Amino acid sequence: MTDHYFSVLHKETENRFWINNPTSVELGLAIEHGAIACTTNPAYCSRLLSVEPEYMSSVIDDTLEQTRDIDAAAVLVYQRVVQRIMRAYRPLWDSSAGKQGFVTIQLDPRIDEDTASTIKAIKDNQSLGPNYMAKIPVINGAIEAIEFCVAENLPICATEVFAVSQARAMCERYEIAARRTGNRPPLFITHITGIFDEYLKKTAVREGIEIAPAVLGMAGLAIARKQYRMLRDAGFDAVMMGGGARETYHFTGLIGGKVHVTINWSTADEILKSGIKVESRLDEETPAAVIDELRLKFPDFRKAYDDDGLLPGEFAAYGPVQLFRNAFLKGWYLLLAEIVSRKHSRAL
């Protein structure tokens, strides 16, 4: 295969490409094009229900042979479909001595503000494979589970991060746990760029805020770049992870530093077909006038951009976090509904 965008990216930069919520075909393509790891979220199974229905029917039916409890079945189904990815990435995990080939799993979004439930889910997932990575929402309740992960030396993906203050809070918790235990497992701190832009667009429409689309399109990246500088300058032992991309620039705008970015295959394919070149853009300065306008018109931008914009007790209720979690809840309920449907059909 001739060099393509991602092979050049990996040769010439510290940036790395991850794949998000892939189908079986997309998983193969992602690995072929150098995706070093994979993220999943609680909406993953609902996606597979629409694109791989026969596979999902088989997984659900097999799971119902093990348990008739709907909630337990949903967890087992999610674990089964993620294990398919973990097996595909195991050779890379082995050959990289455990530095690549990770696969993340998140927990039932209905209980992700409960520390005990978060830790139990992580414990249950530990047995799935050595390349498991715990995915923890940076909200009160779940964030406390980082202490368990560090004690277990488990790799961590901190997710649902929209604000600089969230990133700092998670890193500070990690440092406390690392100093106490002596363990420093890999820590990836996300920034959910595209969904943040989507949230501001919805806010502008709802509240009749007049603002140029080009200005709105700079919001998520402006915060992500500030978060990257904060992690770097503070010396935190964490890698920035871009997520929630909605446009190709949510990937390409983070090129030029030690940043990993996870995207759906549709976005990766668009990048490959676009013919764009690998160019460093991470250090680009967002014009001060753009920052001023966003700060003036959107209080939620200020909350994300300012170093002290949110307190930990405010993370879960923050609008962009709620938008993201609602998508997870919708996906989880669709999975539950399909399990109920198949359980009833088997009883007939």
Q: What is the DSSP string of 64-95?
A: HTT---HHHHHHHHHHHHHHHHHHHHHHHHHH
What is the CA 250 to chain-centroid distance, rounded?
Answer: 13
CA distances from 56 to 44, 50, 60, 61 (A): 11, 9, 6, 8
pLDDT of 348 reads 57
pLDDT digits (tens, 9 = 90+) for 313-329: 999 999 999 999 999 99
CB atoms within 10 A of CB 113: 17
Say whether 167 sits in a helix, a strand or coil. helix
Q: Which CATH class is domain 5-347?
A: alpha beta
Of 8, 29, 7, the closest CA to residue 265 belongs to 29
Tokens 């399109």 sit on residue: 217
pLDDT digits (tens, 9 = 90+) for 84-122: 999 999 999 999 999 999 999 999 999 999 999 999 999
Determine the average pLDDT of the residues in 151-170: 98
pLDDT of 1 reads 52
Please say if the pLDDT value at position 153 is more than 60: yes
pLDDT of 296 reads 97
Phi, psi of 92 (to 5 degrees): -70, -40
> CA 22, CA 39: separation in Å to the nearest integer?
9
What is the CA 51 to chain-centroid distance, rounded?
Answer: 21
**Any residues with CB less than 8 A from the CB of 322 and at least 6 apart, and which?**
316
> CA 77, CA 65: separation in Å to the nearest integer?
12
**Any residues with CB less than 8 A from the CB of 23 and at least 6 apart, and which?**
47, 48, 51, 52, 265
